[in-house]
A and B are shown apart, each in its own frame.
Chain A
């Protein structure tokens, strides 16, 4: 079984992002970049399926500027077998990414795509579902448990009321939630080994896909800030404030 894992390079989750003065975007110069945490979970899950003897090959794909190859290398260092780098200099939105991934899936024919439920930069939560629609495959979003049986995959999904279990025919798309697993760190020997693993490069122009954005970003601004509050000294003072000042209890 062949698994494709799309990985995205994003601002590290520990960075407090700031809006640029001209309000065109957030500040991206000199900030730490990392693999989207949900994609790390996706890579980890693919590796576990390989270690169980269910998967035979794991391919990591990333789309964007040459820097995204670092993210592919991270996935290779965790244990993925090979990478695909789609060189693309224009801004991408989930719709375009899903189209590019569709074209790659049609070419390499994976049995399963495991990907993050959302990227922590644009918080879209969309690419996996869009890709499933375009391929006409089944989807299992927000996965916190996953089991493969024959040509089917059983997935526990985190939903608003708890957990829902569904069964999807393969090939399928799974999007990962936080509780699916805890990703491993790449060991030094594996980081060295990853340098020799192959990354296939393609240019987005060669795929003949319309990637013109449909959403034009007019402005990126700071959210409304909260006024600073006060520290109280005791539970009594807290209750008094809540009753008489805030009037919420």
Chain B
């Protein structure tokens, strides 16, 4: 029985949630890692000292630079037939590739797993996290995506160093082609792994007004997040969206400003350690899950908070 973790990365750096996925995989058995990239070296350097892994398989191919699902899924289906479990992070790459792989090998995917009960039993949220389902798998091969916030990070050590081995040959697909991307540039911490997240909603009213939140975020060394309404209105980029259909975060401190607290938003942040809500409506549902609520106008409270935190 072997377990494979498909490493998520941007060709230079490891996507941090991979460490949580590896930690989850270690609860299964015999963990190997797979790096598919046009340049695997830097990523392997980050992986080589992770404890409790056996092999690091790599395949370097220009086609893997953009991680098209057609290429990655075909490659994994061809080369890892004897694995009992194949794990991905529940990132946009994982969500794109893992179900395609499952479709290729006639397996029912088990997405967004938050707990491994035993080798065939997994817990996952349904209905925007309003219920947790325990699923027993009858699959021969389990294809699983892991919710990073539900698992710790794998430990780094010097013992048990993984061995790097090349594997397989890719037949590049002729179905799809990468063109270009428009990535949001930011000096701030990454939203899904930040210690503190400052999130804004429709209450901010405009893109310019978000600057008062960004000042607070910079003072706290926080990442920025947003509600769907703020993204839809064009105040902030799409990759800031927290929620059922956006990103899942669980920082030490989540600051929700001008966000009403719809279930779809709560689904993405209610596992944060401490939540504070700032909303001028004292009946706003966000207060029902806030550790500390402040019913005040955000345009007064946020600048005041920013100036008083040192």
Contact = CB atoms under 8 A, between A and B. Distances in A.
Nearest to B145: A125
B129 interface: yes
B99 A125 contact: yes
A235 B134 contact: no
A188 interface: no
6 contacts: A124-B109, A129-B69, A161-B239, A214-B137, A230-B291, A239-B309
Interface in A149-207: 154, 157-169, 172, 177-179
Contact of B293 (A93, A134, A157, A230): A230
Contact of A216 (B96, B136, B292): B136
Q: What's the interface size class on B, roughly?
A: 35 or more
A15 B18 CA distance: 34
Contacts of A228: 288
B68 interface: yes
B288 A167 contact: no
Contacts of B10: 161
Contact of B274 (A94, A142, A246): A246
A101 to B, nearest CB: 11
B175 interface: yes
B136 A215 contact: yes
B73 A133 contact: yes
Given A164-B181, A248-B253, A98 B175 contact: no
A51 interface: no
A95 B133 CA distance: 18
Given A169-B174, A220-B126, A248-B273, A229 B293 contact: yes
A167 to B, nearest CB: 5
A52 interface: no
Interface string B104-130: 101111111000000001000111111
Nearest to A158: B238
Contacts of B290: 229
A95 B99 CA distance: 9
A236 interface: yes
B238 A215 contact: no
A139 interface: yes
B127 A26 contact: yes
B244 interface: yes
A95 B106 contact: yes
Contact of A126 (B111, B183, B263): B111
Interface stretch (B23-31, B38-46, B79-87, B300-308): B300-308
A91 interface: no
Contacts of B93: 159-160
B99 to A, nearest CB: 4
A220 B228 CA distance: 28
A226 B125 contact: no
B130 A133 contact: no
A130 interface: yes
A127 B103 CA distance: 9
Given A94-B99, A132-B103, A235 B175 contact: no
Contacts of A162: 181-184, 237-239
B232 A179 contact: yes
Given A11-B127, A123-B125, A172-B175, 5 more contacts: A16-B263, A19-B131, A125-B99, A221-B134, A226-B289
Interface stretch (A56-64, A68-76, A80-88, A114-122): A114-122
Q: Which 8 A-B pairs have the closest CB atoms?
A: A133-B103, A130-B103, A138-B175, A129-B99, A214-B108, A229-B291, A126-B99, A138-B176
Given A178-B245, A248-B253, A215 B110 contact: yes
A10 B270 CA distance: 23
A18, A38, A120, A142 pick with most chain B CB within 10 angstroms:
A120
A230 B111 CA distance: 35
Interface string B249-293: 000110000000001100000100111100000100001111111
A125 B95 contact: yes
B273 A166 contact: no
Nearest to B291: A229
Given A123-B125, A160-B239, A221 B132 contact: yes
A138 B73 CA distance: 12
